[in-house]
């Protein structure tokens, strides 16, 4: 039986991965966040408490699992410390026994954020819709080999040397874009306390996770953002700056690919997207507005209203292939209650062809025309449903049609933000 599940969003993010990770973490010895940064926001609701996680894995609410921040996450030290504090307010212990941070993870510093904001402002109408958290510039430094790792950040001598290396070039760009430059010594001084606070958490996380995996205990890999935001496989350039897909988890963490694994593709029962970029099934009309209101579709990190629209099966088929999805976690099915019927895009017309699976290069082409089917809706409230048979027939048909169209079984269904509002159709570890 596989002892690892990768939880991946198969749309544009915000699918509800945090809830699913928290739910399955009860069975996991370790939960690993493997990419992205503080631009992600995972909301978990437990016993009526709403907890928003940005960098700490959503397994932190399960006292038994080790939470790991891998080397390919870019860490904002200031907000990470605040996040740990905000969890302590909820009596959730964040200690070095519970949270392990890779020594090699890169840090996001104020100069990355300033650069991010200045660049986005300079783009005018061609904005990407970045969250302005400095994630893109921090990844640039990683790949340019000018980045600053946690092991540098937590040692003032190393930090000042690293800053002297990276700042001259970054300051040139910042001043060119009209911003104030940064000083290496001042920045080191200002962050000494943060480095001290985080140093006890640093570990060789690859080795720690390898030990858990090879002992047969269960591991969850939690991705942030969604497949269509992947820097390589998403709707470039309207993407995030990291690899968000499921197979990336293993090389990004530094463990070999386990022989048996499960990939849970988290799909919201409709589609949303934040930021700019093409969204062929967006509904700027009343259904889109209804989904936004009922589904609470406002960003957990930025508060931005999300763009809302209909299910887009060609993109889901693509994401299933890219990730090797073995099962679906369908979330927010409850949000569709009250719609008499709903359009679902099953394919699109491109030139003279009908296409079932997206080609990212078609995305921006005005010749792409979505083709819709109408799926029957239901009026019942789903929040009390605990098994598939508790669902109205039309909701069951919705799930059957989705599973048949995507050729992947539905493993679980979420009908509310709390842990209890979940239907297990199959054992996710089986
Ligand atoms: P993530 O980044 O993929 O974890 O998603 P977000 O946290 O940004 O957004 C998901 C939001 O939907 C959170 O506020 C969750 O509490 C909430 N949520 C998750 N599953 C469900 C569900 O099945 N129904 C409803 N109504 N809300 C849900």
Is 14 among the catalytic positions?
A: yes
Write the pLDDT tens digit of every residue in 16-61.
999 999 999 999 999 999 999 988 778 888 888 888 889 999 899 9
| 16 belongs to a structural domain | no
What pLDDT is stored for residue 393 in this prediction?
A: 97
- Give pLDDT, residue 365: 86
If asked whether residues 293 and 395 sit together in one domain, one would say yes
Give the atom of ligand 1 at the shortest distance from the alpha carbon of 43: 7
Please tell me whether residues 173 and 315 are part of one structural domain.
no
| Contact of 414 with 267, CB cutoff 8 Å | no
Residue 137 has what pLDDT? 96
188 and 220, same structural domain? Answer: no
Assess contact for 42 and 67: CB atoms under 8 A.
no
Alpha helices in 131-248 (DSSP H): 135-144, 150-153, 156-176, 184-198, 205-214
Asked whether residue 92 falls in the same domain as residue 38, the answer is: yes
Q: Indicate whether 19 belongs to any domain.
A: no
Could you read off the pLDDT of 414-427 as tens digits, one per residue? 999 999 999 999 99
- At 133, give phi and psi (nearest 5°): -95, 5
Rounded to whole angstroms, the Cα distance separating 191 from 78 reads 9
Q: Which residues of 44-55 are buried (b: 16+ CB within 10 A; e: fewer)?
A: bbbeeeebebbb
Whether 258 and 271 map to the same domain: the answer is: no
The sign of the dihedral angle between the CA atoms of 316, 321, 327, 329 is: negative
Q: How confident is the model at residue 394 (pLDDT cuts 50, 70, 90)?
A: very high
305 and 385 co-located in one domain = yes
Ligand 1 centroid to Cα of residue 319, in Å, is 20
C-beta 171 within 6 A of ligand 1: no
**With 0-12 CB in 10 A as exposed, 13-18 as middle and 19+ as buried, what is 350?**
middle
Q: Whose CA is nearest to atom 8 of ligand 1?
A: 14
- Fill in the DSSP letter of residue 167: H
Partnered with residue 320 across adjacent β-strands are none
Catalytic residue among 22, 42, 54, 346: 42
- Residue positions counted in the chain: 430
Does any domain span residue 429?
no
**Percent of the chain beyond pLDDT 70?**
99
- Examine the fold and report which residue of 153, 178, 198 is the final residue of a domain before the chain moves on: 198
- What mean pLDDT value characterizes the chain? 94
Q: Are residues 183 and 219 in the same domain?
A: no
Residue of 417, 419, 423 to test ligand 1 pocket, by largest number of atoms within 8 Å of CB: 417
Residue nearest to atom 28 of ligand 1 (CA): 417
- The tens digit of pLDDT for each residue in 72-91 reads 999 999 999 999 999 998 88
Please enumerate, as own/partner, the contacts of 164-172 that have beta carbons within 8 Å and a separation of 24 or more.
166/141, 167/111, 170/111, 170/115, 170/137, 171/111
- Clarify whether residues 116 and 164 are in a common domain: yes
Q: CA distances (Å), 320 to each of 225, 235, 333, in order?
A: 15, 15, 20
Containing 409, the helix (H) or strand (E) segment is none
Q: The domain containing residue 343 runs over which residues?
A: 266-424
Average pLDDT value for residue range 314-327:
98
For residue 358, give the 3-state DSSP assignment.
coil
The runs of H, that is alpha helices, within 302-371 are 313-323
**Residue 124: band (very low, low, confident or very high) from pLDDT cuts 50, 70, 90:** confident
- Burial (CB count within 10 angstroms: exposed 0-12, middle 13-18, buried 19+), residue 371: middle
- Which atom of ligand 1 lies closest to the CA of 415? 23
pLDDT value at residue 300 = 65
Question: Which residue's C-alpha comes closest to atom 6 of ligand 1?
Answer: 14
Rg of the chain over Cα atoms, rounded to whole angstroms, equals 22
In this structure, are 170 and 240 located in the same domain? no
302 with 382, same domain: the answer is yes
What is 136-157 written as a DSSP string? HHHHHHHHHT---BHHHHTSHH
Q: Is residue 126's pLDDT more than 80?
A: no
Q: How confident is the model at residue 301 (pLDDT cuts 50, 70, 90)?
A: low
pLDDT digits (tens, 9 = 90+) for 199-211: 999 999 999 999 9
pTM of the model: 0.95
Q: Is the CB of 423 under 6 A from ligand 1?
A: no
Same domain for 420 and 309: yes
18 belongs to a structural domain: no
Which of these three, 213, 247, 262, is where a domain ends? 262
Output the domain CATH number for residue 256: 3.40.440.10
Active site residue 157: no
Q: Are residues 220 and 320 in the same domain?
A: no
Q: Which residue lies with its CA nearest to atom 11 of ligand 1?
A: 16
Q: In angstroms, rounded to a whole number, what is the distance separating the alpha carbons of residues 200 and 388? A: 46
Residues 208/137/320/424 CA torsion (nearest 10 deg): 50
The total number of structural domains in the chain stands at: 3
């Amino acid at each position: 039986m596989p002892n690892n599940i990768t939880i991946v969003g198969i749309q544009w993010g915000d699918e509800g991965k945090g809830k699913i990770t928290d739910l399955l973490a009860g069975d996991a010895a370790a939960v690993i966040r493997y990419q992205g940064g503080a631009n992600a926001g995972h909301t978990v609701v437990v016993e009526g408490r709403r907890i928003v996680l940005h960098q700490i894995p959503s397994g932190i609410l399960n006292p038994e699992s080790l939470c790991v921040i891998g080397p390919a996450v870019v860490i904002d030290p200031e907000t990470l410390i605040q996040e740990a504090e905000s969890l302590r307010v909820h009596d959730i212990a964040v200690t070095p026994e519970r949270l392990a941070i890779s020594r090699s993870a890169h840090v996001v510093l104020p100069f990355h954020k300033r650069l991010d904001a200045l660049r986005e402002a300079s783009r005018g109408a061609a904005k990407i819709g970045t969250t302005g958290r400095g994630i893109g510039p921090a990844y640039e430094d990683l790949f340019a080999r000018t980045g600053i790792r946690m092991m540098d950040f937590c040692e003032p001598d190393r930090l000042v040397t690293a800053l002297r290396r990276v700042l001259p070039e970054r300051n040139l760009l910042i001043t060119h874009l009209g911003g104030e430059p940064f000083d290496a010594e001042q920045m080191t001084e200002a962050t000494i306390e943060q480095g001290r606070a985080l140093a006890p958490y640093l570990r060789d996380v690859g080795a720690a996770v390898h030990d858990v995996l090879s002992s047969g205990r269960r591991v969850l890999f939690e991705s942030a953002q969604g497949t269509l935001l992947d820097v390589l496989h998403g709707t470039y350039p309207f993407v995030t700056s990291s690899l968000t897909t499921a197979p990336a988890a293993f090389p990004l963490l530094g463990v070999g690919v386990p022989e048996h694994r499960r990939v849970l593709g988290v799909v919201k029962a409709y589609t949303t997207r934040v930021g700019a970029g093409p969204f062929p099934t967006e509904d700027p009309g009343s259904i889109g507005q209804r989904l936004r209101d009922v589904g609470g579709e406002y960003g957990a990190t930025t508060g931005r209203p999300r763009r809302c629209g209909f299910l887009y099966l060609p993109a889901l088929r693509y994401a299933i292939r890219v990730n090797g999805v073995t099962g679906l976690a369908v979330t927010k099915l409850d949000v569709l209650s009250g719609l008499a019927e709903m359009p679902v895009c099953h394919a699109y017309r491109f030139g003279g062809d009908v296409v079932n699976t997206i080609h990212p290069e078609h995305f921006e082409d005005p010749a792409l025309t979505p083709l819709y089917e109408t799926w029957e809706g239901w009026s019942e409230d789903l929040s009390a449903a605990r098994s598939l048979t508790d669902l109205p027939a039309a909701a069951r048909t919705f799930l059957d049609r989705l599973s048949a169209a995507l050729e992947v079984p539905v493993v679980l269904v979420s009908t509310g933000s709390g842990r209890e509002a979940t239907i297990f159709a199959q054992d996710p570890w089986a």
